[in-house]
Structure 1
Amino acid sequence: MSCVFFRAFLCGIILLLATSAAHAQSPTPEAELNTFYDQLNAYRTERYHPLPELEALRLPSTFSGADLRALQLQDRHIVRVDLVYTAFRLNPAFNQRQLNLSRIRNLAAGVPGLLQDESVTWTLVEQTGCNSPAECQPFFHGFVVYVARHATAATSRADLDSLTRKLRILEKKRPKAAKKTQGCQVACNLPSSRFSSRDMARNLRRNYKCPQREPQIVRFQLTVDARGTTQSVQVRPTGKALCTAELEEAIRKSVVFNSGFPVDRRMFPFIVKGAVRLPLGPLQLVGKPDLALTSFALPDSVARLYRVFLKKKNAQHKHDYCEARITKKGELLAASDTTTETLPLPPDANVVTRVMQRHPEWNKEVVVTDATGSMFPYTYDLLAWLQLSALEDPKTFVFFNDGNDQPDKDKRVGKTGGFHHVKTDSYEAIKNKLIETMKAGGGGDAPENDAEALLYAQQLAGPDASPDLILIADNYTFPRDAKLLKNTTAQVRIILCGVHDYINPKYLALARKHGFTLHTIEGDIENLSKLLEGETITIQSQQYQVTKDGFKLVQKT
């Protein structure tokens, strides 16, 4: 090791120890610190570059009290900490782990409670792009601390002003879409079923033999392709004893279609929902059969091209029927065109639109949305998508702002509140409810009350309903109240916003524990609950390992 490099190294260690002693008020126990370190995300890169989408502050390895004060944590909160160093070792016996532990201990002493803050994401970043002391000298060594402002009702007003300006521009660009002009009427028929309702009920009794004592209504959903072939059957149990797999197979055999959904002489895939009354009784000659189809839905792309109305039978029509109109050519623009010049947007600013378009099979009955300050680009994207989506049936939207601007110190898990909901098929009503939520509060600290909002939404749906819940959440602010979901049976689809370089492993752990699914602008992450402890999985070019406590990033390529 060269003398210059060795002296610099010793000076760094001495300064580190001196600063550590100055800050050492209540040092973290060694065992606790090692446990914390073993769960850190870690990856290698040729040379570290801070994320441009977040506000980054550099703390050199020999940081001082002045450097810590520059973080201005009275006005901001930490969302992520990267400990950056180089892989080059002049001395093979050099212990990088011990040096990293010392640095983390020093930072924790200067920022009390940092290691215990579950909303902060930590990452070890090893740089591999230098092979000598001279080459490594310009490489950064130390902490890169990403911060975000404390959001309040006052700061939300600026976001709200930007949101309304952007929406006005969007509405001017799509005046005809907003007014929902009538268009030209085209042919439309409900998909024809191979069996009558009574025959479907008879087939179900023949195929489902599972004993059932407690009466219940079980709802189901079928995804059917353009040829009329059932692609999937999903039963939504109510929590009572049920042979789910057998019932799904019995429904598949009992509900059969001759074709796709015919509109304008074309066939389209569709979703059909229905209900089964258990226990199955003898064939009823009068009244409703044990199995009934309740609604049909077309993909969003079709709903944007055609205005399809599903009608109930009346004096002129003996059965339920549909009407459709085609919009004029060029009337609607692509939903992904959500850019304006009012504010710079993150790379995944249209993640909500992309995921919703990617999954026309989702019922989208209940959408739960974080409306705090950090989510401004994504709430705008939600409204942009809604403006181009034909909401034929009322949907429930729950917006939450983490407590209606109450002080962080007064927030209690499960009792934070800040919920604003609306059930409607009106874009204007949804927009107004979001604006109302943003005016009421901005969120305050980093972690939000997502779990409380999900349970609130499930309660709104009612005890007999089992809808899928779509949660639009911030990748870097993991909920403070995830433990509230301990006994949930809800199917939750989480759209992660702000996935800059990797998925927050805490969301992976949450999805694995409860059987949730995660969705980013790049793709879908499903079936995490099938992974065993110790297994490694590659998700969107990044490797994660399952640990006893959840997941950790082990490699980024």
Structure 2
Amino acid sequence: MVAQVAFGAVSLNGLTNRTPVVVEEVSLAQLSENQLYIATPFAKPVILNPEQKQQLQERVVLKVELVYTRFRSSPTFNQQLLNLNRLKELNRLVPGLFEAPLWEFQLTEQTKGNNPEVCNQMFHGFIITFRPNSSNSMLKQEADYLKKLVGSFLKQDSIDRYNNPTTTNSNLTGSSDSTGTGDSTSSGTTKKPMKFTIKTHYDKKWGYIYDTIWFVDTVKPPPPPDFFYNHQLYQDSTVLNAFDRNRDWSNFIVVTDVTGSMSPYSAQVFIWLKAQTQNDKAKYFVFFNDGDDTESRKKKPLETKGIYVTENKGVDAVMQTATKCMLKGSGGGESLENDVEALIEGAKYYTSASSLILIADNFESMRDYDFINKVSKPVHVILCGSERGVNIQYLDLAYRTKGTVHTKFSDVTNLNDLKEGEHIYIDEQKYLFKNKRFHFVYDAFQYQNSSVR
């Protein structure tokens, strides 16, 4: 039996115990531009191309696949132990990879080799899948999508006013998982019944329509960009759900990451803003892109820039600032963002704010994590893409600022009640509070196959 080995969050033994995917042979020629390989020899754990370390440190990893062959020369050969040693070597090369285990893991067993000579010619090692970087043209398409989304809001307003001058945005009631109809005004004047939905559904002509407010048989929303690497994200209603569950929030600043892959969540900010009968709860909006296309090696904590701020003067004005920030940004595939810098910058514009709401990419950590103590307002963190677990840096941010954390399904409001050594469960996954910081508990993570950001 192989002994338990854990590095921070990950039980390496737990990974090697998984049922493998069986294939005849893995072909490196089939790798996409968002994948790279880390090679090991047949029957040995040593890593042959450690120069790939930099990419693993800088980019967001979605999947780690360990590839080996079924063939063994000796009946006593222990494949599980070899796989474990290969994982230990990868951990030595990139320890940070195992400190935030938000990726999918897969064992892949090849069946082609039936002798050492054949196996020596086959690939063994790791295939790493990254979240794609966005090109400038892709960023423009995402920005255009958001502009069209807001444009359809404004067009709908015009139709509503034309069809029924008494209809106002106060018709828009309901949660992110409900449907409804128009009601009567407070003065008793009956408005024209207008059905709306805030559910995810599929339209044969228009494709997927997600978590937005559309009146039946009127203006249809634009489809999301067809290049987007994971269209299931447009079904994720994390931001809308969090706002809907916390309607008592007021007098706040919204700080939003608009780097690549965040457009499904940015769209929900505008949907939420448009749905407000009185949109004065959010006083300012801050958008950040981690440095305006600055090279990674030149980015310094609290000096990264790429932060754009606007007063809340309506959804159209806020949209202009957001798209400007998006277009000035870069690929969005890096593993670090300047969240703290954006929070500090936003607070300067409205010192009377009661709190800051950070809409954060759960897969990306904070470049300026060590400066959390400079944030002077409570931070309510809405985490996007936390299905595989919560990035513990954002738990620390909320704890140290006396804020809260919000996932698609949960509101975590009791962080400051935790005592040393206590555990907390968030969406059925377990975390340890120790030394005034949060830690993953590895046995809570299953690494099962599923869609990831």
Distance 2:314 2:163 in 1: 11
Gap change, CA 1:124 and 1:539, over 3 Å in 2: same
1:401 equivalenced with 2:289 (yes/no):
yes
2:10 match: 41
Distance 1:455 1:124 in 2: 33
2:362 match: 475
1:77 equivalenced with 2:59 (yes/no):
yes
Distance 2:152 2:253 in 1: 28
Gap change, CA 1:496 and 1:93, over 3 Å in 2: closer
Distance 1:117 1:396 in 2: 35
Distance 1:497 1:334 in 2: 19
* SS at 2:439 equivalent: strand
Distance 1:481 1:72 in 2: 19
1:451 match: 340
Out of 391, 404, 409, the residue aligned to residue 522 of structure 1 is 409
Out of 161, 165, 171, the residue aligned to residue 144 of structure 2 is 161
Counterparts of 1:317-466 in structure 2, within 5 Å, are 328-330=192-194, 332-334=196-198, 338-339=209-210, 341-343=223-225, 344-346=231-233, 349-363=236-250, 365-393=252-280, 395-442=283-330, 445-462=334-351, 465-466=352-353
Distance 1:48 1:389 in 2: 49
In the alignment, is the contact (CA less than 8 A) between 2:38 and 2:49 conserved in 1? no
Out of 537, 541, 549, the residue aligned to residue 424 of structure 2 is 537
In the alignment, is the contact (CA less than 8 A) between 1:174 and 1:333 conserved in 2? no
2:130 match: 147
Superposed displacement of residue 354, structure 1: 1.4
Gap change, CA 1:126 and 1:173, over 3 Å in 2: same
In the alignment, is the contact (CA less than 8 A) between 2:182 and 2:194 conserved in 1? no
Superposed displacement of residue 103, structure 1: 3.8
Gap change, CA 1:531 and 1:80, over 3 Å in 2: farther
1:208 match: none
Superposed displacement of residue 439, structure 1: 1.8
Determine what percentage of the aligned residue pairs are the same residue: 24
In the alignment, is the contact (CA less than 8 A) between 2:307 and 2:325 conserved in 1? yes
Superposed displacement of residue 471, structure 1: 0.5
In the alignment, is the contact (CA less than 8 A) between 1:492 and 1:516 conserved in 2? yes
Superposed displacement of residue 508, structure 1: 2.4
Distance 1:510 1:329 in 2: 45
What CA RMSD, in Å, does the superposition of the two structures yield over aligned residues? 4.8
* SS at 1:374 equivalent: coil
Superposed displacement of residue 172, structure 1: 5.6
* SS at 2:371 equivalent: helix
Distance 1:459 1:329 in 2: 44
Task: Give the aligned length.
Answer: 376
Out of 381, 389, 393, the residue aligned to residue 506 of structure 1 is 393
In the alignment, is the contact (CA less than 8 A) between 2:8 and 2:440 conserved in 1? yes
Amino acid in the other structure paired with 1:399: F
Gap change, CA 1:376 and 1:180, over 3 Å in 2: farther
Gap change, CA 1:171 and 1:60, over 3 Å in 2: farther
Distance 1:397 1:180 in 2: 32
Superimposed CA distance per residue, residues 389-443 of structure 1 (whole angstroms, 9 cap, x where no aligned partner): 2234372111111122222222221122212111124111111111111122236
Superposed displacement of residue 472, structure 1: 0.4
In the alignment, is the contact (CA less than 8 A) between 2:234 and 2:264 conserved in 1? no
In the alignment, is the contact (CA less than 8 A) between 2:100 and 2:391 conserved in 1? no
Gap change, CA 1:431 and 1:126, over 3 Å in 2: closer
What TM-score do the two structures reach when normalised by structure 2? Answer: 0.66
Distance 1:168 1:40 in 2: 45
Amino acid in the other structure paired with 1:556: F
In the alignment, is the contact (CA less than 8 A) between 1:508 and 1:551 conserved in 2? no
Amino acid in the other structure paired with 1:354: N
Distance 1:349 1:122 in 2: 17
* SS at 1:377 equivalent: helix
Distance 1:150 1:97 in 2: 31
Superposed displacement of residue 484, structure 1: 1.9
Distance 1:495 1:367 in 2: 10
Superimposed CA distance per residue, residues 116-154 of structure 1 (whole angstroms, 9 cap, x where no aligned partner): 689965679698xxxxxxxxxxxx996453312344655
Bigger radius of gyration: 1
Superimposed CA distance per residue, residues 457-505 of structure 1 (whole angstroms, 9 cap, x where no aligned partner): 111112xx24211110000001111222214331110110112322223
* SS at 2:88 equivalent: helix
Unaligned 5+ runs, structure 2: 22-33, 69-75, 108-122, 202-208, 211-221, 226-230, 447-453
In the alignment, is the contact (CA less than 8 A) between 1:536 and 1:544 conserved in 2? yes
* SS at 1:403 equivalent: coil
Counterparts of 1:12-411 in structure 2, within 5 Å, are 38-42=7-11, 47=19, 62=41, 73=55, 77-80=59-62, 82=64, 100-105=87-92, 108=93, 114-115=94-95, 121=101, 143=126, 145-151=128-134, 153-168=136-151, 176=159, 182-183=165-166, 328-330=192-194, 332-334=196-198, 338-339=209-210, 341-343=223-225, 344-346=231-233, 349-363=236-250, 365-393=252-280, 395-411=283-299
In the alignment, is the contact (CA less than 8 A) between 1:396 and 1:422 conserved in 2? yes
Larger deviation, residues 336-345 vs 382-391: 336-345
